[in-house]
Amino acid sequence: MTLKIEDLSVSFPTGLVLDGVSFSLDRGEVVGMTGSSGAGKSIVAEALVGALPPDAIRAGRITVDGAPLVPRTIALAPQRLDALDPLAQVGRQLERFARLADRSMDVLAVLAGVGLPARTARLYPHELSGGMARRVLLATALATGADWIVADEPTVGLDDAASRRILSLLADLAASGHGVIVISHDLIGLAKIAARVVILRQGRHVETASASVFTGPGADLREEFSRALWQAQLAPASPC
Ligand SMILES: Nc1ncnc2c1ncn2[C@@H]1O[C@H](COP(=O)(O)OP(=O)(O)OP(=O)(O)O)[C@@H](O)[C@H]1O
């Protein structure tokens, strides 16, 4: 199955924020999305899962094998930890997500699917480590039974080792048959797990680069902006 995004544009009364984004992915694949801050990455995610603000106007086509994408077949693992209800145990929250998608699921199986032990079901969000909370956010998307998962900044705030484990989990979700879109500023991490990386700048789709071009100085990247983005990540951080 192929999810195809064609000419996706989004505008608000204040103006156009996304202009002509096109890319596709198959189930079993990871596609990365990166770009400068405010480039429109979260807007793409919201458009895909049908969660744009009410004053947004969307244009373009989102299809699966030629038919319009069915909303409940795609789910967002949100960026913000406050998407979790601070007053509800993790297990209860996963059940809520499943109910919203009109399905029943096995909480412990969903937790195991994101590498979390059964006891996590009884924990409240404030009892989770950063890495566990990121996994629970992914679990909220999996609890819906969606085929397509959009993970918005799933490694933000994590150290290198925890980030690597989350990226490897996302690759595993694709290997188990999901189509996974990962939004991240960590281009080095994305290049390790994604087949392609969609690069956005100020609402424009700069290019979709195959992961294999993220080597050395990135000479095979088509656009200057993409090369600059890649090289900025390779450069050692300047001492404070
Ligand atoms: N409700 C809204 N009304 C008007 N403009 C908005 C609204 N939501 C987002 N925008 C604008 O859309 C643009 C893209 O925002 P978006 O959050 O998608 O960027 P992003 O690439 O995810 O950024 P970051 O990497 O910082 O999270 C920004 O210019 C933002 O100000």
pTM value is: 0.94
User: Structural domains in the chain?
Assistant: 2-234 (3.40.50.300)
Q: What angle do CA 38, 41, 44 make, to 5 degrees?
A: 130
Q: Residue 111 pLDDT more than 90? A: yes
41 lines ligand 1 (CB under 6 A): yes
Atom 3 of ligand 1: nearest residue by CA position = 12
DSSP letters along 57-120, please?
A: EEEEEEEETTEEPPGGGEEEE-S-GGGS-TTS-HHHHHHHHHHHTT----HHHHHHHTT--GGG
CA distances (Å), origin 171, targets 30, 106, 154, 177, 182: 7, 22, 13, 10, 10
Give the span between the Cα atoms of 67 and 86, in whole angstroms.
38
Q: What are phi and psi of 112, to 5 degrees?
A: -60, -35
Residue type at 223? E
- Mean pLDDT for 154-180 is 92
Atom 19 of ligand 1: nearest residue by CA position = 38
Over residues 184-219, the pLDDT tens digits come to 999 999 999 999 999 999 999 999 999 999 988 889
53 lines ligand 1 (CB under 6 A): yes
* Structure-token match 């789709």, residue found: 205
Answer for the pair 34, 190: CB distance below 8 angstroms, yes or no: yes
Q: What are phi and psi of 195, to 5 degrees?
A: -75, -40
Atom 16 of ligand 1: nearest residue by CA position = 40
Over residues 82-103, the pLDDT tens digits come to 999 999 999 999 999 999 888 8
45 lines ligand 1 (CB under 6 A): no
**Mean pLDDT (the chain, rounded):** 93
Which 8-state DSSP code applies to residue 1?
Answer: -
What number is the ipTM of this complex? 0.97
Over residues 9-20, the pLDDT tens digits come to 999 999 999 999
